[in-house]
A and B are shown apart, each in its own frame.
Chain A
Amino acid sequence: MSKNNGEYLITRNDNKYEVIIGLEVHAQVLSESKLFSTSSTKFGSEPNTQVSLVDAAFPGMLPVINEHCIKQAIKTGIGLKAKINKRSIFDRKNYFYADLPQGYQISQYKNPIVGEGSVTLDMPNGEKNIRIERLHLEQDAGKSIHDIDPQNTLVDLNRSGVALMEIVSKPDLRSLDEVNAYIKKLRSIMRYLGTCDGNMQEGSLRADVNVSVRKKGDKKLGTRCEIKNVNSIKFMQMAIDFEANRQVDVIEEGGSIDQETRLFDTKKNETRSMRSKEDAHDYRYFPDPDLLPLELNDNYIDKIKKDIPELPDEKKKRFIEKFKLSPYEANILVSDIEISKYFEDVSKNSDVKLATNWITGELFALLNENNIDITESPISSKNLSKLINLIKDGTISGKIAKSVFEIMRDGDKDPITIVEEKGLKQQSDPKELENIINKVISENPENVEAYKSGKDKLFGFFVGQVMKTSGGKANPKLVNEILKKKLN
């Protein structure tokens, strides 16, 4: 593998191969109840406690669409700048499996609710557009558990019928970094919209990964393999890297790639053939006669459009224009909706530049150190903005602020109280400062002499001495001004 200018190429025997990646992301719709039943979708409940008669496919039970899930899919479609299809159809995908009670999965096959769209990635060498082919709604299956009982497979139907959005990209991704950026961007958009919590540990976001390779410069796409159900970005990257190299090896040895479905073994870090194209299931898709075609009118879609919040791309643009942030800073601050909310809360009541620095600096360091999310931040946005205001109005210096920050992290204490209690208020009285400066000058006649004879660098020494004498509380700006007057 070589990386030139961000290009991801595999080199063998002087041949350079480009890797073509497309993702089918399965995102769990954020919804209290399932796609076609009223059972709860809560994660981590006792097995088979969230199963209705519909989910377990009892005789005569019928699916009734959960309108909330439809709205969520439309919202997500809008977030992907995609076409919302006014007529979509739920089909049955027929196959037998123990954790599929109906014997079919209700999914959208030929007529998905959302059509073509796009996602913009911010890569180090600029923006890149990834085209979205479609988004459709479907039911999740239950879970088969093979490792509890040595004799039997156990089935948990809690997930059975939970709504998923399958978001299919075009084969536009070209590197592991792009895959990382793409998943993060999708996740970010859906979290902004509140349509998916993006929690990969809980399986709310998983992907089938399509990989093919071709010699650099070739126009025609190679034969692809699909790696099923990979549940973290790291595993996606490992799987792609293994699979792309495997394909290159096959081609270099004069072989050809068979279109097949493969599994990624996370322990062995390899992909294995699951079934070939010939063994592919015939799912016998047909429109579910229990559900009428889903018809949406413009009014309905427009109403949802009005409720769409500002999304990462627009927010970034606004941050750059309004707050004069750099694209880099803006990217960091909009990447996660909770971070952007925190930032906006802080900057609403205090200096934007300081807010940016303090959040991306001290606060992020604190969060990383404790491995926590910004929503769990020990320092509230309210108190951080107070701290910034104390710096801005000269009550404390930046240096003192850092020690105040350290105290704040225990129990989110009000910085104003801390400054008062600890007497950390900056000395800004020119007379008092003059006294200290006079003292420093009289105690260091040699340095004064040296400075006057041209050793400008010594100015810093005097500032340091003054700060030290004041216990760090002297207002550095004033100290500078007075010192200059005294020494020159």
Chain B
Amino acid sequence: MSNITDLKLVELVDKIKKKELSSAEVTIAFIERSKKSKKLNAYISENYENAIKNAKIFDQKPDFKKKLPGIPIAVKDLFCSKNIRTTAGSKILENFVPTYESTVTQNILDEGGIIIGKLNCDEFAMGSSNETSYFGNVQNPVSENLVPGGSSGGSSSALAAKLTPATIGTDTGGSIRQPASFTGTVGLKPTYGSCSRYGIVAFASSLDQAGPMTHDVKDCSLMLEIMSTYDTKDSTSVEFKRESYLNNLNENIKEKKIGIPKEYRVDGMPKEIDELWEKGIKIIKENGGKIVEISLPNTNYALPTYYIVAPAEASSNLARYDGVKYGFRSKGENLIDMYEKTRSEGFGDEVKRRIMIGTYVLSSGYYDAYYLKAQKVRRLIKNDFDEAYKKVDAILTPSTPSSAFKIGEKLNDPVSMYLNDIFTVPINLAGLPAISIPAGHDKKGYPLGLQVIGKAFDEQSILNIAFALEKNISFKNNITDWWIK
């Protein structure tokens, strides 16, 4: 048999159900590989011992009706996990151990999943390269000194390096899709309101969504099915009929109308990405889908809008980290002094930058010019999609305007870093579902992704389209285990 860690999620589930593998065997295999992969710095916290114990408990009384029977899984360290340290990649939560479980991770546990560790991420999910983490850079297994994307960089790295059979991330402006694209993996951001935000360390509440990151579309469907539940503990959770995404998965895209937004052909985009997009269009046509040129006229305003709305919400969401109740506290002369020192020392530069931007745009006298206007533009961006969906079933775009870049390359150029999210951000602003699937490589051999954007709550359609694309593309990740001696 090939390596256990080479198996995909659905294959592992199948083998455990057929008793060809035990949960302990699978769990130990991923943990052993994780231990050998410290160089990637994908983990912030390990839960190996407990995980193995839990796997053995599962094996003693296996319940094969579960959708993740004894499957080990490492998760982004933005999900609060009971009795497992949860840091959000920040010094301010360096020693924070929740007494509660996020709804999404609880759903995974309820289906038999076993948490083997917490994965690195940009601090409070603010970043596109995992370089803002207090716990250090993460290596992209594709190549040394390459960023894995962000903010779910630990997740994408661990998944691509096969340290976990699947993982979960959060996506506020592209934090699942961009790292998936950078590592040759699949990442889906569900419709806003699909996955509960309860127990996820908040970045920008009106944009944050949890979603699956997997090796292929099948695995992605299974994970989404588990993660997505209506939750009364999250007032923005939406009650809608959630499909049996895996069962309903099929590659038939005949007569599906796929929109190609002309505004996504941005200047200076690498030729390879254009070619990749053309390849996607060709596959759709060959499989009976219809290509429709569409316009999303306000696309240009998405990034500035995002960089007003997200920091505004973040500046308020992060006010609770004040040293009073939990987390890091610095000594101060008085309350104000304690606040200032705690927050100056506890937060990293990117987080502070966004808190300042957010505070500024909400300030009296600036609110109307920035925050209020941004909300109006956000509405226009959403209207663009509503218009488009009168003509098409889904939209196809590249996932990112470039492939992964070197560690340190963009660290001192925030604007260039922010531009990375240009294709993903509008989707968060509109609250729509979108999936990134690996579709090819650039000339350096780095993976590139295509993004399929769907109608609200129509995850099934984008999974099906992605499934069809995946079959025809047959992408292969060239990962050489360079980090394992």
Q: Which positions in A face B, CB cutoff 8 Å? A: 53, 56-65, 92, 94, 96-98, 101-104, 153, 155, 282, 284-286, 289-292
Contact = CB atoms under 8 A, between A and B. Distances in A.
Contacts of A53: 99-100
Contacts of A103: 316, 318-320, 322
Contact of A60 (B197, B319, B339): B197
A59 B322 contact: no
- Residue of B86, B100, B235, B367 ringed by the most chain A CB atoms within 10 A: B235
Contacts of A65: 235
Contact of A59 (B98, B233, B235): B98
Nearest to B360: A284
B335 interface: yes
Contact of A282 (B98, B197, B316, B364): B364
A53 B325 CA distance: 11
A194 B43 CA distance: 54
Contact of B236 (A56, A94, A98, A290): A290
A375 B304 CA distance: 63
Contacts of B86: 59
Given A53-B99, A102-B319, A290-B202, 5 more contacts: A59-B80, A98-B324, A285-B367, A286-B367, A290-B235
The 6 closest A-B pairs by CB, nearest first: A103-B319, A289-B205, A284-B362, A289-B206, A60-B199, A57-B320
B interface secondary structure, majority? loop
A77 to B, nearest CB: 22
Contact of A96 (B96, B202, B322): B322
B96 A62 contact: no
Interface in B66-122: 79-80, 86, 88, 93, 96, 98-100, 102
B371 interface: yes
Contacts of B320: 57, 59, 101-103
Nearest to B198: A62
B326 A63 contact: no
Contacts of B171: none
A153 B236 CA distance: 36
Contact of B233 (A64, A98, A101, A155): A64
Contacts of A97: 335
B478 interface: no
Nearest to A93: B316
Given A62-B197, A104-B316, A289-B206, A96 B362 contact: no
A285 B99 CA distance: 31
Nearest to A291: B235
Interface string B170-198: 00000000000000000000000000011
Contacts of B235: 62-65, 290-292
A292 B236 CA distance: 7
B313 interface: yes
A101 B236 contact: no
B324 A59 contact: no
Given A282-B364, A289-B205, A62 B312 contact: no
A104 B199 CA distance: 19
Given A59-B98, A101-B325, A284-B364, A290 B198 contact: no
Nearest to A99: B324
Nearest to A90: B235
Contacts of A104: 316, 319
9 contacts: A61-B199, A62-B197, A96-B336, A101-B325, A103-B318, A103-B322, A155-B324, A286-B312, A290-B235
Interface of B: 79-80, 86, 88, 93, 96, 98-100, 102, 197-202, 204-206, 232-236, 312-313, 315-316, 318-320, 322, 324-326, 335-336, 339, 359, 362-364, 367, 371
Contacts of B99: 53
Contacts of B202: 59-60, 290
A56 B325 contact: yes
A259 to B, nearest CB: 15
B80 A60 contact: yes
A286 B319 contact: no
Contacts of A58: 80, 98, 100, 325-326
Pick the most buried of B234, B316, B326, B335: most chain A CB atoms within 10 A of its CB: B316
A344 to B, nearest CB: 42
A57 B317 CA distance: 10
B98 A289 contact: no
Contacts of B318: 103
Nearest to A54: B233
Contacts of A290: 202, 205, 235-236
Contacts of B102: 60
Given A60-B197, A153-B335, A101 B96 contact: no
A61 B387 CA distance: 35
Nearest to B340: A96
B206 A60 contact: no
Contacts of B79: 60
B123 to A, nearest CB: 13
Contacts of A56: 325
A110 to B, nearest CB: 11
A108 B371 CA distance: 18
Contacts of A285: 362, 367
B324 A101 contact: yes
Nearest to A97: B335
B363 A282 contact: yes
Nearest to A95: B319
B319 A96 contact: yes
A108 B369 CA distance: 22
A94 B199 CA distance: 22
B218 to A, nearest CB: 30
A479 to B, nearest CB: 75
A289 B93 CA distance: 23
Contacts of A92: 316
Contacts of A96: 319, 322, 336, 339
B335 A60 contact: no
A138 to B, nearest CB: 16
Nearest to B232: A64
Contacts of B316: 92, 94, 103-104, 284, 286
B233 A62 contact: yes
B313 A289 contact: yes
A101 B322 CA distance: 9
A285 B316 CA distance: 10
B181 to A, nearest CB: 27
A339 B233 CA distance: 42
Contacts of A64: 232-235
Contact of A286 (B200, B232, B233, B371): B371
Contacts of B98: 58-60
A60 B102 CA distance: 8
B53 to A, nearest CB: 26
Contacts of A289: 204-206, 236, 313
A289 B362 CA distance: 14
Which of A53, A62, A64, A290 has its CB near the most chain B CB atoms (within 10 A)? A62
B201 A60 contact: yes
Contacts of A286: 312, 316, 362, 367, 371
Nearest to A65: B235
